[in-house]
A and B are shown apart, each in its own frame.
Chain A
Amino acid sequence: MQDFAQEFMTALSLILSGDSELLNIVFLSLKVSLLAVFFGALVGMPLGAALAVGRFPGRRALIVLVNALMGLPPVVVGLCVYLMLSRSGPLGVLQLLYTPTAMIIAQFVLVTPIIAALTRQTVESLDAEYTEQLRSLGLSRLASVPVLLWDGRIALLTAFLAGFGRAIAEVGAVIIVGGNINHVTRVMTTTIALETSKGNLSLALALGVILIAIAIAVNAAVSLLARGAAPQRGELSHA
């Protein structure tokens, strides 16, 4: 118990003193996850919107697939991306394995289905309410999509945050494709795993505290936004 209290105090002082190793790890984590979610949104939101308003063969199957991919185990994603990027893999020539780019790719694969599925739900429920009104105003199906996206912007932001929450807390995929190399590919979650196994609890604890703070901030933002999205009724609160 004595030990734990001591480790915890050291952890806090690491955070408060702005320890440079700690900060580097936190910044890399944020950079990797934010970029992954950014690209995930770039692909996932149009895909989700298309699944919501489009009428094409295979749409139902694609929706089931995207929903299923939301629950992908990160280690499996890591393994697949590893196989793609490894020297003998199809993308081996790019030499991306064990770089932050590889980690961004892996997290991108993880968060894109989440963002696509949440976007689809949002746009589909809005579409049900807006479709006749917008049609009577002369809009085509395609032209109504921007209106739906704009009126669903808060719910879409929560989809983005949900993706970010998943990415920043994930360890299985980034540890496989990133390799947890000191100063290169070490992020918060992978450092916690490594340092804990080495017995260096103070650094692990410090990162744990920061990770929890981020998780709480993201969840608070999501619930605040969800409240603003649909006052009183909550049609849009997927959070």
Chain B
Amino acid sequence: MTTEHNTQPVIEAANLDLTFQTNDGPVHALKDVNLTIDKGDFVSFIGPSGCGKTTFLRCIAALETPTGGTLSVNGMTPDEARRKRAYGYVFQAAGLYPWRTIAKNIKLPLEIMGYSKAEQDERVSKVLELVDLAGFGGKFPWQLSGGMQQRASIARALAFDADILLMDEPFGALDEIVRDHLNEQLLHLWDRTNKTIGFVTHSIPEAVYLSTKIVVMSPRPGRITDVIESPLPRERPLDIRDSKEFIEIAHRVRDGLRAGHSYDD
């Protein structure tokens, strides 16, 4: 048996369902979702709000329990993977703690995982630099803008060595320039670390620029309508966005989103 490093499935969902029972009746947040994510994939989830992007990410991270089908992570159940600290999760809201400074917020996972003081400091300054927040470690969250808080929360998920990085609309609140810059940084990080990344976004260009695999989703019931394997190379300068291939993929994503919409009404 050979271990092919780049094609080993990290996440496998088969016939996955999640139905929430609410007072207004059942909500089908995910229905018959099938998806394989390989080691080192950068997977974007795109679709209108309510199509189950957050729910799917939460299922992977064992924050939500599916009501049907199977889901495995590194060959384990999501909860086993969670207990083995497989995940760095960037929540949709920054979720920084107001009584901790930025540096202390980033240290929270490191404290929990028992890193030495020196290594904590080293990692904090490294990730602060990565998200362009060098020098802000001593500030409290409320002293930073919303975008800076979001970057700090990304830094927290990057500070420790989780194999799988799950990010729920991390750049949604940021302006274009900052977003471009963080997209580049994220690609570098992904390239260097070979992390597997699950990334929720509303932006078609962002999804195409970042991903090796683009998952287009549609609501009511939440489901996958298209999975696009990107032909773009791993190395991606920002101006790749003007290339013919890039524009073709963007079109296909847009068509997929439109098709999903026509099921409504």
B-contacting residues of A (Cβ < 8 Å)? 129-130, 132-140, 147, 151, 154, 229-233, 235-236
Contacts and interface: CB of A to CB of B under 8 A. Distances in A.
Contacts of A232: 98, 140, 142
Interface in B107-152: 108-109, 112-113, 140, 142
Contact of B99 (A133, A139, A147, A229): A229
B210 interface: no
The 9 nearest A-B residue pairs measured at CB:
A136-B89, A138-B85, A230-B99, A137-B109, A138-B83, A233-B98, A232-B142, A136-B87, A137-B112
B108 A133 contact: yes
A236 B113 CA distance: 26
B82 interface: yes
A35 B113 CA distance: 36
B95 interface: yes
A230 B97 CA distance: 9
Nearest to B98: A233
B61 interface: yes
Contacts of B240: none
Contacts of B113: 137
Contact of B84 (A130, A138, A154): A138
Nearest to A132: B63
Interface string B55-95: 00000011100000000000000000011110111010001
B140 A231 contact: yes
Most B C-beta atoms less than 10 A away, residue of A133, A134, A229:
A133
Contacts, number: 53
A137 B91 CA distance: 12
Contacts of A129: 95, 97
A232 to B, nearest CB: 5
Contacts of A130: 97
A224 to B, nearest CB: 14
A136 B165 CA distance: 11
B100 interface: yes
Nearest to A140: B83
A157 B62 CA distance: 34
Given A129-B97, A133-B108, A232-B98, 13 more contacts: A132-B63, A132-B91, A133-B89, A133-B95, A134-B112, A138-B83, A138-B84, A138-B85, A151-B100, A229-B99, A232-B142, A233-B98, A236-B99
A88 B109 CA distance: 57
Nearest to A232: B142
B33 to A, nearest CB: 21
B89 to A, nearest CB: 4
A230 B142 CA distance: 11
Contacts of B108: 133, 137, 147
Contacts of B63: 132, 135-136
A233 to B, nearest CB: 5
B142 A139 contact: no
A151 B99 contact: yes
A231 B85 contact: no
Given A147-B112, A231-B142, A136 B99 contact: no
Nearest to A152: B99
B57 to A, nearest CB: 10
B142 A233 contact: yes
A136 B86 CA distance: 9
Contacts of A132: 63, 89, 91, 95
A230 B113 CA distance: 25
Contacts of A236: 99
A231 B91 contact: no
Contacts of B88: 136
23 contacts: A132-B89, A133-B89, A133-B95, A135-B62, A135-B82, A136-B61, A136-B63, A136-B82, A137-B113, A138-B82, A138-B83, A138-B84, A138-B87, A147-B108, A147-B112, A154-B99, A229-B99, A230-B99, A231-B98, A231-B99, A232-B140, A232-B142, A236-B99
Nearest to A233: B98
Nearest to B101: A231
Nearest to A129: B97
A138 B88 CA distance: 10
Nearest to A146: B112
A134 B98 CA distance: 16
A93 to B, nearest CB: 49
